[in-house]
A and B are shown apart, each in its own frame.
Chain A
Amino acid sequence: MVLYYLLPKKHRWCVLLAASIGFYAIVCLKYIAFIILTAMTTYGGGRWLSGYIEKTDATLKENKKTWTKEQKDSFKQNVTKHKKLICAGILILNFGVLCFLKYYNMFALTFGAPALKLFLPLGISFYTFQSMGYIIDIYRKKFTAEKNPLKLLLFVSFFPQIVQGPISFYSSLASQLYDGNDYDFKNIKEGVLLICWGFFKKMIIADRLVAGITTITEGYKEYSGTLVLGAAVIYALQLYADFSGGVDISRGVSQLFGIDLAENFRRPYFSRSISEYWRRWHITLGAWLKEYLFYPIAMSKLFMNFSKKLKARFGMKIAKVLPVSIASLITFVIIGVWHGANWKYAAFGVWNGGIIMISTLLEERFGIIKEKLKIKNENKLFIAFQMIRTFLVVLVGYFFDIAADFTSAMEMMAKSIYDLHITEIFTRRFYEVIGLPIREVLLVLLMTGVLLWVSIWQERHKDTTLRAEICKKGYAVECLVFLLLFFSVVVFASYGPGTDPADFYYMQF
Chain B
Amino acid sequence: MGELIFEARGASYRYAGAATEAVSRASLAVPRGELVGIVGPNGSGKTTLLRLLLGALTPTAGEMRAFGQPVATWKRRALARRIGVVVQREEPTFPLRVRETVALGRYPHVGAMRALGAADHAAVATALARADATALADRWTATLSGGEWQRVRLARALAQEPEVLVLDEATANLDLRHEMEAFELAAEMVRAHGLTGVLVTHHVNLVARFVDRLVIIDRGEVLAMGPPAVVLTREAVERLFAWPVDLVHWRGVPQFVPLRRAERGASQEP
The judgment on whether A and B are partners is: no
